[in-house]
Structure 1
Amino acid sequence: MKTPMTRRSFLTRTSTAALGLGLSARVMSRAQGANEKVVMGIIGAGGMGRSNMSGLLKVPGVEFAAVCDVDKAQQDKALEILKKAGQPDPKVYGDFREVLDRKDIDAVLIATPDHWHAIPFIAACEAGKDIYCEKPISHDIMEAKSMLGAAQHFKRVIQIGTWQRSVKHFQTAIDFVRSGEMGTIAVCRAWFVSAFGGWPKPMEPKPDGPAPEGFNYDMWLGPAPKRPYNPNRSHWNWRWFYDYGGGLVTDWGVHMMDIVFLGMQQSDPLSVACDGGIYALKDDRDTPDTMQAIYRFPNFLMNWETRFTNGRGLDGGRTHGAEFIGTKGTLVVDRTDYQWFPENKDNPGPKAFEKSPPHDHWQNFIDCVKTREKPRSDIYSMAKTTMCCHLANIAYQSGKTVEWNAKKLDLANPQVAHGCKSYSRPYRAPWKLKQYPVTLA
């Protein structure tokens, strides 16, 4: 497997927008017909990567021609799925740039850890590939802006993995909030809670040591700081460390807050205040297990909560959810169903809950690759949702109230973000973040 220093410079590898536009025309010409094949590559073949790949394989006409991961064990698991699906033998890579060099690949699935989203995402845009990218889109706010700018500049079709947008009962709940039937909505909530010892479990201390055979740990670190290998900071658990992820507010907040923003049709807070700490799990993570964040919007407040003290959730024991509190009643929705609590019996609320069929988030992406329409979890709206999650972390890391400038998609008081990893971070050489300006919608 190749390391960054064995290939020519990343920033000079992609030659320009002209290449991207040329490939865009090729993809469009190949994929106009409903039965045309869409050739994909997977970059990051861990648990979420394989889950999304399995979903995409259910869409007629999708073929995976490349599997890329820095860990041979993850590669092998992905190859087994493709074999069982009757797919042609794909080529295997340890360096994402080799996938993007292939002219026969139309789109890529990016499901790396968060700290490895921005670089392959921007490079894929430059290479003319459409992208299905796992959530949250970025490790920090500056990355989110650069990724959005690249997607706009190269006119790529981007679907983010916030699949709740494709589930019927979430759509029904959002429509009801927008209908005005709830009266004035002054308070919203979003949350994820878990019992002590549940998920995510405390991490037992483990010593530093050599990385497993077949695992290119230096490439896995990529732009993150150099440090010895430790299994508690690697596969899966990386999300509990600010060097690689953003904790539960980016892992689950990006799902549940997104529903609030869609219902209220607002995703530009005026300010965000946050506090919390590591009170329950007490291991070596540096993201909080307990967090309370208050988002102030022009016409309402939103509270984000996460905790790990016991299994009693909010509003009837729901371990996760989004809640809208209006003058005519309260609506709660999670991945199970929604529930309406009217102030009087004359307000019937949303239509009776219907069991949601399997979501077609992957089908929507492939359809949009062919039609060039905007997917349900488009890059612009999901960049804003992701940045809102990062704002809670910045407020937590700085201990200050963060103010937001919607016209610049940036902090109105940037001085508070100095040293905050959820705002920006230095990249370990030779990796660099390429900048593309954003066009406001």
Structure 2
Amino acid sequence: MRKYSAVLYFGSSPSARIPSSFLDDVLTTRVPVVWADQNLKRLADHNPTAWKSRYAFHTTGPNLDGVTRVTYRGTTLTRLTEPGDAGIRNIRIDDPHKAKVLAEGQRPDGSGSPWAVRAGNLWYIGENPFDYVTASDRYLAFSDLLFDVLAPGTPNRHRALVRLEDISPNSDPGQLRAVATCLHQARVPFSFGVIPVYADPRGAANGGKPTTFALKDRPELVAALRYMIGHGGTMVMHGVTHQLDHKPNPYDGVSGSDYEFVTAHQNAKQDVVMDGLVPGHARERTLARLDRGLAEFKAAGLPRPQVFEFPHYAAGPDDYQAVGQRFGYRYDETMTYASSLSGGVPDLRQRDDQFYPYVVRDVYGTAVIPESLGNVEATGHNGRPPRGPKDIVGAARRTLVVRDGVASFFYHPPLGPGKLREILQGIRDLGYRFVGPQDVMR
């Protein structure tokens, strides 16, 4: 382990094979080690004397269920307890001089167990923090603990981002100017995601008439985009059509509604179910599609976007690789496929969807600008409840536990400036400083 700066182990199966040499290394190394969830007892039993003298804590009994919150650095973070939740490990401290509790898991009645512990060079997390991630949950504690392991000298710094979303050639120029003016007057740098081609091949939003047009066909819209750039905006390419071919995927086939780089349908409950990668999925196909979109910006006389955002944050490994060839940055979340780590054919059923509360370079080698807070949703959808400005600001408050965290949200211009002003003020009142997407990359 001496050649590594840190080691992270996630125990996902009690029957997993763990080499004795690895256990020996963990018990003797000075390299920082993060151990999450299962198999800690196998480490402790490998050399009980060394374990007790060096670490002085243990897990015991069945998991603790019903834990609904995790308290970390004075902040209460949420924890889901849906059917099938395995709970958290019961952790007992043998010597508080050697083992320090970093976070506490708690039930509604106040009972609980340590959620994260540090002893010497070992950090232990009592569950897998990647089983699910939301804008306000205990994943934020894990994200901050990584600074202790990888960059302990990182100072506290709290920056914020806002991105205007789903702008297409069919957008209302007046609405765009209104929200851009609001941001400019508030002295808030911003970005805006642009779909260069509007497509409604089934006429779902155009009285049954198939309709397609591009940026160059809407000079007033292009003028509004120039206005946004001139008033502090950074343009982001948000897919090419933000829909796929001539059928619902999964909604109505209209730009801004549907997926573009994966296929999907709605089930009987109207929840979205992703089916698979686009037929013919290949890097060359995606490169050609991206080049088509970039050509539309050029044809409209607009600058070339340097940042890309996948529609609905959904794509396959070849799509990510293609974007990495054409753009310096992405501005979204990441789908990490098992095949990207272990080889084989990518399968949507074997993936992890992850947002980041700070800038990262992901498994595809791309620098990712974070989006971590979500957006205002007046009615909610896909099984999620409505979200208003207070929800966005509340998630930003919890993100303060991340010492170099970025509170980043997106906003749809048709909602108007009112709710946007409320969010901007609420986030500023927490002590965040709004910056542009290029600033967080420095």
Same fold per superposition (TM over 0.5): no
Larger C-alpha radius of gyration, 1 or 2?
A: 2
| RCO higher in structure (CA 8 A, sep ≥6) | 1
Say which structure is richer in helix: 1
